[in-house]
Structure 1
Amino acid sequence: MKNGCIKCGSMDAAQKEVAMTGSGLSKMLDIQHNKFLVIYCKNCGYSEFYNKKSSTAGNVLDLFFGG
């Protein structure tokens, strides 16, 4: 059972993929090899980051809603 956003209770969420640099040489060369899924509430903007490599097996929207 989905509970909604933990901040506002809304069931209206979306996801985006983002890439970020690491530290050291990858930061200096702007190599973005750290990939994440961001799940965010369209109502209040609350966001959670999930490692893309670790989260491909399940539905991250279910995780966001506490399912």
Structure 2
Amino acid sequence: MSEKGCIKCGSRDAGTKEVAMTGTGLSKMFDVQKNTFTVVYCKKCGYSEFYNKKTSTASNVLDFFFGG
């Protein structure tokens, strides 16, 4: 069984960041950052995937990123 890596370049060197974004309507007008995401990115090529923080945990987002 081969090891999986980034779908763009094959690298297994990934990082994560937490980001917040505004929604629509009043939250956008008042710049309320109500949507939070975990971003998993390849440190080699920069390919990134966003995961809804409410439905994803830090322990499984890397598995999703690497196709596990």
What range is the shorter-chain TM-score in? over 0.9
Aligned to 2:32: 31
Taking only aligned residues, the RMSD between alpha carbons, in angstroms, comes to 1.5
Task: Figure out how many residues of one structure are paired with residues of the other and give that number.
Answer: 67
Deviation of 1:58 (Å) = 4.7
Q: Secondary structure of 2:63's partner?
A: helix
Asked which structure has the greater RCO (Cα within 8 Å, sep 6+), the reply is: 1
Aligned to 1:53: 54
1:2/1:25 CA distance change after superposition, 3 Å: farther
**Quick one: distance in 2 between partners of 1:61 and 1:51?**
13
Please list every run of at least 4 consecutive aligned residues from structure 1 whose deviation after the TM superposition is greater than 3 angstroms.
none
**Quick one: distance in 2 between partners of 1:18 and 1:52?**
9
Cα deviations across residues 25-45 of structure 1 (Å, max 9, x unaligned)?
Answer: 000100001000000000000
**Quick one: distance in 2 between partners of 1:66 and 1:52?**
18
Unaligned runs of 5+ in 1: none
Unaligned runs of 5+ in 2: none
Cα deviations across residues 3-56 of structure 1 (Å, max 9, x unaligned)?
Answer: 100000000000000000001100010000100000000000000000000002
Q: Percent identity?
A: 75
